[in-house]
Structure 1
Amino acid sequence: MTTIIPPNISDYTARNISLKQLRLWSESGDGHKQELIKLLKEIRGKLARGASPSKVITFATKSLEAFYSKKEVRGEVQLLNNRHIVFKLMFPGVNDQDLQFCLVYGEINGRTKACKFDETTPIKISAHALQRLLARLDVSSDSKALDELYSCIKLAIPWHQAASETDAQCWPLMSEHGFFVGAPSPDSLVTTLITWMKADGLSKKWLEPLENLWRLKSKKPRTLEDPVFAQEFLISFPWMLKEHVPGLDLPSLAWESKDLDRKNDPISHENTDDLMEQDVEDNQEITTYKKRSVSYLSGLNYSNTPPPLKIYDQIKGLVVQKRADGNIIVGLKNGWVGKIPKISIEKGSLLIENYIEPEIGDEIAVSIQKIKRWIDEDAFLISLDPVDISDAHWAEIEKLIPINSQVFGKISVDLKNKFGVQLSDGHRGLIDKTDVITYLQATNNTDINLFNLELEFNVIGFNAPKKNLLLSIPNLTELHKTSIIEKIQIGKTYHGTCIRFCNNFSQIQLDNGYTGVLHRNNSWGLPLPNVGDSVEVNSIYLDPTENEIWLSRIHEKLISEYFNCLPVTDTLWNSFVNNHSEGDIVEVQVKDWIEGSQGFIVATRCGMRGLMSKKEFTWYELGTTQDITLGDIFTVKITKINNLKRKVAFSKKMAEPHALDDPKVLSHKGEVFSGQITSIVDYGYFIAIPQLKADGLLHKSKIPEGVSFSKNELIKVSIADIDLQKKRISLSLVQENQDRNISKI
């Protein structure tokens, strides 16, 4: 029996009717499910008994059509062919307190004898929500109310999935004449419908999201069922992350009662670019409204930490809002949303022929233009530009401001290694910090306030991804060259302060304003100064053209000569390889000890840096390097010149005679010595013979089985053979070592 619902009923009447309707639908729900199970069992039986597949499909189609003709059931059957159908059914279900609705998808295949269905319960409706539906929906029967419920059921699953990902507490589910407000159910994947609102007469709070969803439905209806879109959409309305309280929409009423006009809204400000450049604290027009929204403004990011994004990052997003004021809200697929201002879209129409505005549901490539924190909302606003518009705009700038043109501007921001420049025509530029410092040094303006100084700049290039002009100062090279030659003298001592510390060098700001590099190889074994440390240094290299000054620490002991490690420029390298070859003997000075590679860093008299490993120090294994000190000068042989890597290797021992160069050593054959084991190899032991200042090999074939020794152990050996040509000494083990009780190998 159909329940007749009088129009314009009161809340009291609607509540009584809703309770009655819940009971009636619940009572019918269990019967519908049992009837469906019975029907499918009968169809399976027919297939199992070998009935004609086409006849079974005809029977199933008619039975299902009769089933969903019942007033509480809705559904459809799709005939794929005369042996195969799929069907969808919706009907009420039974629940302890709330009325739930079942969604069934099924398939019957006469050829494969498959007869199966999947049942889900996407939604349930509370008595309060049904009361609101009956009171607000201008219909005359409960059948129309059911149609309104069923019209939202296909959206329930993807939107519940999106809500779970974002921890949303309320969200809209569009229906035929309005929308339901969904909410999570405790420990359940079911969406609870907590109220229903009619499309006309909505407050601003709910009108804004619904206008966007209606727009999406008309443009891309299938996107409504996309959980990715739903997730980005929910994030763009932060108040949906808060619990919805049924009844009067007090937050919206309080919000609208402030009667805020568009110019005070950070999302819809007409002159967005000007506003965004200001510090929020200094903008009285905005900060007048301290946390002005009782609810939460859409398009803002309410977070205590800044977004994990950098200015000019390019990222793919999803358009989730097209606002009436012309601004576009984009979900960035990382938990944050940004805004494309109206002015940017208008710019695209001017720059790109036949430009098509992005529509809600479109994927779009955007670049991060600004990230601002709004103190009055305690939220972040991310300003975006579509990449295609940004690129087109920048192409126009490159035409209007070609390379080598002159522009004027002021230093606006101190970046890591550069200064940001605000040009007088409104564009932005970047200039190397060293260029500005060099200019101030050359013009004796080191004490001036940079941010009050207007300068002329040369355009030397473009940073298209970051939308900046690359700038330099005109005639800087000549200015600096003259200035640096006048103020820096090679070999002179200067006082300075470390302004930058790296693993291999420190940058030193000299008291006269110039900046030099102190490399660790010129620090005489002392730790490099850290930022803020004072240091005395000597200037050792000067290149005004490249704006380079190299420095050296002063040796703790006065030494007569200094060889410095200089930068390996083309001039230095070409000069070295033109005047030296592998095998040449040169003088070097020890500059640094490299523990990890067991060697020395040395420098030639001309400033070429090179490596000498510990093994190249002496022929004799026990000839230690302990007597070597930093600053020592000795002769070495060049053993390797690597033109590709511009590296040189040296050997001290190759420049000295070997102990076996003297034939007199043959007289020691047969003598017994006490020698120290210096190394152990697979084929035996190397033993140092101090009397000869040479090492000999005790081969394992000359050691009795089961006898072994340890490194650094002293043992007695005899010289079995001396090969002067190969410079090898063969040793034998004396008897007393063979007889001792040594642990077996």
Structure 2
Amino acid sequence: MSTATASSAPASMESFADLFEESLVHQEMRQGEVITAEIIDIDSNFVTVNAGLKSESLIPVEEFKNDLGEIEAKIGDFVAVAIESIEDGFGATKLSRERAKKLAAWLDLEAAMNEGRIVTGMVQGKVKGGLTVLVGGLRAFLPGSLVDMRPVKDTTPYEYKEMEFKVIKLDRKRNNVVVSRRAVLEETMGADREAMMENLEEGSIVKGVVKNITDYGAFVDLGGIDGLLHITDMAWRRVKHPSEVVHVGQELEAKILRYDTEKNRVSLGIKQLGDDPWVGIARRYPQGTRMFGKVANLTDYGAFVEIEEGIEGLVHVSEMDWTNKNVSPSKIVQLGDEVEVMVLDIDEDKRRISLGMKQCKSNPWEDFSMNHKKGDKVSGAIKSITDFGVFIGLPGGIDGLVHLSDLSWNVPAEEAVRNFRKGQDVEAVVLGIDLERERISLGIKQLEGDPLTSYATGHEKGSIVKGTIKTVEAKGATVQLDSDMEGYLRASEVSRDRVEDMRTHYKEGDEIEAMIINVDRKNRVINLSIKAKDMTDQDSAMKKLAADSSAAATGSTNLGALLKAKLENKNAE
């Protein structure tokens, strides 16, 4: 163990040594007390100090090292140490340099808090709710809300940096220290803030530095007060994220859009530094104007196309293609595609432009209408079969509909549709073209003449026809008149006498002769009557008999008797 000599110490050290010797007389030896001691030896494990006690004390050398592992002491130095225990049983007093430094740090922080003094600390890392800061050897807590003037989501840029703080809370019993960087910023910017706020005026141009970026905008330091540059005020065009326009640390100019003096909130805009492209937009792009633009955004209901810097219009999905009305926009165009569009409508007040892509192509419905008329024959493959009809593909990618009722003249629709399949090539007749509703009506049965019309032409009302009973029910029977036409005989039209059940009079296969009493074109039914035929026959017979009677040679014959006899003979037959 070596001892430092007084002759080697400088004059200042001699005076400090005198004070040290004097303090040994007056200092009180209590546990926790901070006293002064002289370093008399240093080795690899301990630093030996003389505190004027009965014996020298050994303090671990680690308590004298800095963060770099360097010993911050030398023989002859006088240092403050804390008494941890007195007379440990071996006549030695246990001293601590580390505890003395912490006590000194606590006292310094208490003084700094009471005086409002700024302290320096090193930000260590993240903890729940904030950051840890090393201040004077003590670990302090920096709440996330006090890191900056505004809440900070990402604290990474602040970590492992030396910064200034103010102590706002101390609790030695709980070993709790709370510091605030925001308090320092508020104090530092206080004077600048007041001066800035006095000069703030809506419409004025200010300079600032981007200090933080969020999803909805960027905060700009104006030198004492922050302003919000909202994402919608960054550019006239669509901006998906503020980072597309600005970055942290960027210096920029902005216009003050709004200033709330009560809440000290400043709204900024940089797009307002230039001319508003929406002014005069209707004059530059009259309705019907065609131009090329770039697809800037896609949604479920359409695509936004940029036609010039800061100007976007919506192409609704219904205006993308003449035939694909409900297709997803992403199946027609992609982001960045250059497409040709037509201006359909402009609302300058609402800043909305309606665009169309299909209007830049020929309208297949108009093309079809120009090349086809009602009654023309067309052909195509069956695209789909639904509950109400058959869709046939036509030139230009459009479809025509054959309603179920237009499949066959005689076969019921439910049966007729079974004769068709998807992909089958068929021929049809154009029944109607509705350009406004974009509908084309087709018919397959119209390829042939209407058998009802043909039959009715040769068999007018009152005609006597022959047929075979096809089906019979209690209330009536279906009669096959020829290969393509059927008639219907109601029970009430069989006889003058009441017929309760047709099946007691006729059966399938019976041949009958009846009169056509009605042609129901709407329901496509030819109504027959045996009763009407018989009545007509009787009228004819009576007229013939009357004629024969008037020509008879003998006048003694009673006309009434002759008619009666004739009728009786007829009934007997």
Q: Note whether the superposition's TM-score is higher than 0.5.
A: no
Q: TM-score range by the shorter chain?
A: 0.3 to 0.5
Max radius of gyration: which structure? 2
